[in-house]
Amino acid sequence: MPPVIATADTSVSEAARTSFQAGEAAPLPGHLVGREDAPVRLVEYVSYTCSHCAAFEAEAGSVLKQDFAGQGRISVEIRHLVRDPIDLTVAMLANCGPSTRFIMNHSRLLQAQDLWVGKIRATTPDQRARYDTGSAATQRQAIARDAGLYDLMQQWGYDAAALDQCLADEAMARTLAERTINHMADGVTGTPSFAINGELLPSTHGWQALQPQLEARLDD
């Protein structure tokens, strides 16, 4: 049976939650779009295997970056909520290379979600067996190759050696896992979720619900 990839605002699994408890993580700077001193800061919690996250990026990603953050009205901070090994693999690729590349990687990986999720769903039992054997790095590299993510990232200017190195970065993996634990402790249980100026927005998982709340803060 193909690996299950959730397609709704699904919370992080208990197995994933437990597996993230080990290891110390060094702080990782957030990914901020817009002015540091903008009067309103929107935090977006995202999982790459979440179809609603991809839908949000398609509907509102450019609007937020250009019309809101680009005009100095808000800043947008993107935070990862890592749900499973596939999600971790993609998050590590999004963070591969200089931080200046993250926003473009983030958008492209969400835009291509149907493509690489489809490839993962089409994997054979023999392919999937590699996701549970060997080192954590080789497991993530196997996932990325089977998903066609090496091919995509190479089209965007990366080489295979750089991608291997990023997926072998255990400090990054621990940091992403540790931050996921912290976000869940703060009450974030599904994706996409949003906070405005430190206040987590209840029952807000898309642009239709978020936009009026954002506009109301800007009118204050």
Which range among 2-6, 62-66, 116-120, 159-163 shows the weakest confidence by mean pLDDT? Answer: 2-6
The answer to which of 27-41, 91-105, 170-184, 201-215 has the lowest mean pLDDT is 27-41
Q: Which fold has domain 31-219?
A: Glutaredoxin (3.40.30)
Distance CA 84, CA 131 (A): 12
Per-residue pLDDT of 150-200, as tens digits, reads 999 999 999 999 999 999 999 999 999 999 999 999 999 999 999 999 999
Q: Average pLDDT, stretch 128-155? A: 98
**What pLDDT is stored for residue 30 in this prediction?**
66
pLDDT exceeding 70 applies to what percent of the chain?
86
- Of 105, 71, 55, nearest to 214 by C-alpha is 71
pLDDT for position 9: 42
Burial class (CB in 10 A: 0-12, 13-18, 19+), 151: middle
Of 22-26, 100-104, 180-184, 212-216, minimum mean pLDDT range: 22-26
Q: Give the per-residue pLDDT at 219.
A: 85
Higher pLDDT, 19 or 197: 197
Residue in the block written with tokens 């049976």: 1
Neighbouring C-beta atoms of residue 134, cutoff 10 Å? 11
Residues 6+ apart with CB under 8 A from 3: 86, 120, 121, 123, 128, 131
> Could you give the dihedral angle defined by the CA atoms of residues 66, 51, 169 and 27, in that order, rounded to the nearest 10 degrees?
60
Residue 25 has pLDDT above 90, yes or no: no
Residue indicated by tokens 């200046």: 100
- Residue 13 DSSP label: P
Q: Is the pLDDT of residue 26 over 80?
A: no
User: Looking at the DSSP assignment, which residues form a beta bridge with residue 193?
Assistant: 45
